[in-house]
A and B are shown apart, each in its own frame.
Chain A
Amino acid sequence: MGALLTVDDVHVRYGDLVALREVSLSVAQGEVVCIIGPNGAGKSTLLAAVAGGVTPWRGAIRFGDVDVVGIRPEVVARQGLSLVPEGRHIFGTLTVDENLRIGGFIHKGRADAKADYERLLELFPRLRERLNFPAGRLSGGEQQMLAVARAVMTRPRLLLVDEPSLGLAPRIVDQIYEILLDLRRREGLTLVINEQSSNRILKHADRIYVLRGGRIQLEGRAADLADGEAIRSAYFGFGSPATLEGVAP
């Protein structure tokens, strides 16, 4: 199988707290995979582990042909994996322009970075109007757009987006999803998106994982889970997940 990302039996601990246990998942080239789960489920931890931000205590993570466990985030980023973390983490004292260019410094060929920069500003016209603003003064939605654009400047094959809808008006969230899916169509980007709720996800995702208490409770195709019943019980923990269809191995 040509999986772009494989997470195999990953455990992550913060001191005594086990944030992820026995987490396995895979993402194929070109897929849109969504991970949903309640507060504290371990969604952000999972993305951070993939991006090299936290080192799993046990388990393997492969991106392409590379085992990325124990590899520093900047090296993982150079493999073509980019994370838009929860809370966006815009460099608020840098200008919008500088925030964007940071993402392009990975590439030695300056001409490429320049072309990416122009292309992204086409996609995000609101950023173009504010290029010389300190990024900290952008609205939440604009910051989220900047965070996505900045991550795409690194030319990822896989883009991880942690709760893009956090704290944003539904209209803005729709715009951001539109752009993410547009990027996937145009550039063959593979997407993994974390969300707390499934309503938008069911429309856009190819496959869904439900994470709760650090474990994968449910895995399935979005089309098969469309009625939302299985997701609800996995999400809230009603009944035993083992009795549900499509339980992860």
Chain B
Amino acid sequence: MIAFLQNLIDAVSLGSIYALTALGIGLLFGILRLINFAHGDYITIGAYALIVPSADVTARLMIGELPLVVMTPLICLIVVVVALLSDVLVFRPLRRASSPTLMIASFAVSYIIQNGVMMFYGARPKAVDLWSGANTQILIGDLRVPMLQLIILVVTLVLMAALTLFLRKTPYGIQMRAAAEDFRMATYLGVRGNLVIGLAFAISGILAAAVSLLYTTQSGSLSHTMGLPLALFAFVAVVVGGMGSLVGAVVGGFAIGIIVTMLQAYLPPELRAFRDAFAFAFVILVLLVRPAGLVPSRTTFERV
């Protein structure tokens, strides 16, 4: 029982990371019909921004050394700038392009960022000790909970609540939801398309930056491809949850986190190497039963 609860906590914390990543991807998909694979690389940028640029294997902290209240906004700012730049330089000129074209452009952005990181920081993974204090364990009954996992969960919940409030209560949030549902109609009513899209990129940048910090603290390592598996699993989460639904992205993120962790824990050892194959088989199963995802979006996809 204790072992199961322990696994569940791992699952929820991994699920939180996927959910945050999936939210960033889902938000852009909602408004732009863009599946942004470069989202994972925004996370990579946020992580590398913590250290001194050099090809050394041992990373020396730079921004990562600053107090939390300075470091967090600074990392957010850097990732937001990168996200906005990718919009202005790549996606804005492609505004009238089809979804597949946009997705391929996002692959290009992804490679450019990865190669840029490799140029400045070298290709080898680096060890980094961002916040060793976070690994202390808290005893809840017989359960040992790493403090970091609690922090991850709390940060995720806070960010989700903040995003919900923003989308429901502020004029820009309402405009973003309108644009996600029917972009053309929103512009007929004077909603500024580029502004709303820029906002979506900025918010997905903030979500990516949060993942940068949490994930780097947890893994203690950096690599120029570290964002790829995150983006891939988050994309799967978006599909499982239901394309175009933010609630779906979150549900999908937690579902994937739980499936992957539980498979890792309970698959017979000789099958564990195939964990991801089992996870994807499960995804296919879900989609066979519910082709529109777990939380189908009511959004219509028609355009005039």
The answer to whether A103 touches B174 (Cβ under 8 A) is no
Within 8 A of B (CB), among A51-102: 51-53, 72-74, 77-78, 82-83, 85-86, 89, 91-94, 98-99, 101-102
The answer to whether B189 touches A92 (Cβ under 8 A) is no
Contacts of B304 in A (CB 8 A): 44, 48, 53, 85-86, 89
Known A-B contacts A94-B177, A101-B174; the reply to A73 vs B182 at CB < 8 A is: no
Instruction: Give the CA-CA distance A143 to B189 in the complex, in Å.
Output: 16
B171 — nearest CB in chain A belongs to which residue? A105
Instruction: Give the CA-CA distance A150 to B190 in the complex, in Å.
Output: 11
Known A-B contacts A72-B193, A85-B304, A105-B171; the reply to A91 vs B188 at CB < 8 A is: no
Q: Does B217 contact A (CB under 8 A)?
A: no
CB-contact partner of A91 in B171, B185, B192, under 8 A: B185
CB-contact partner of A51 in B188, B192, B193, B298, under 8 A: B188
Q: Does B184 contact A (CB under 8 A)?
A: yes
A77 CB to closest chain B CB (Å) equals 4
A76 — nearest CB in chain B belongs to which residue? B188
Instruction: Give the CA-CA distance A12 to B123 in the complex, in Å.
Output: 53
The answer to whether A98 touches B174 (Cβ under 8 A) is yes
Known A-B contacts A91-B182, A101-B171, A105-B171; the reply to A82 vs B189 at CB < 8 A is: yes
Q: Does B114 contact A (CB under 8 A)?
A: no
Determine chain B's interface SS by DSSP, over half rule.
helix
A147 CB to closest chain B CB (Å) equals 9
The answer to whether A74 touches B177 (Cβ under 8 A) is no
A-B pair count, CB < 8 Å, reads 81
Known A-B contacts A91-B178, A92-B298, A94-B181; the reply to A106 vs B188 at CB < 8 A is: no
Q: Mark A13-56, 1 if CB is under 8 A from B, else 0.
A: 00000000000000000000000000000001000100111000
The answer to whether A93 touches B298 (Cβ under 8 A) is yes
Q: Does B90 contact A (CB under 8 A)?
A: no
CB-contact partner of A82 in B177, B186, B188, under 8 A: B188
A84 — nearest CB in chain B belongs to which residue? B188
Instruction: Give the CA-CA distance A100 to B291 in the complex, in Å.
Output: 33
Instruction: Give the CA-CA distance A211 to B4 in the complex, in Å.
Output: 71
The answer to whether A154 touches B181 (Cβ under 8 A) is no
The answer to whether B191 touches A102 (Cβ under 8 A) is yes
Q: Mark B274-304, 1 if CB is under 8 A from A, else 0.
A: 0000000000000000000000001110001
The answer to whether A73 touches B177 (Cβ under 8 A) is no
* 8 A–B pairs (Cβ distance < 8 Å), ordered by A: A44-B304, A53-B188, A74-B190, A82-B189, A89-B188, A91-B181, A92-B298, A102-B191
The 3 closest A-B pairs by CB, nearest first: A106-B190, A77-B190, A89-B185
**Known contacts A52-B187, A93-B181, A150-B189, then 14 further A-B pairs from the complex at CB < 8 Å, ordered by chain A residue:** A44-B304, A53-B304, A74-B191, A74-B192, A77-B189, A89-B184, A89-B185, A89-B188, A94-B178, A101-B174, A102-B178, A136-B298, A151-B189, A153-B189
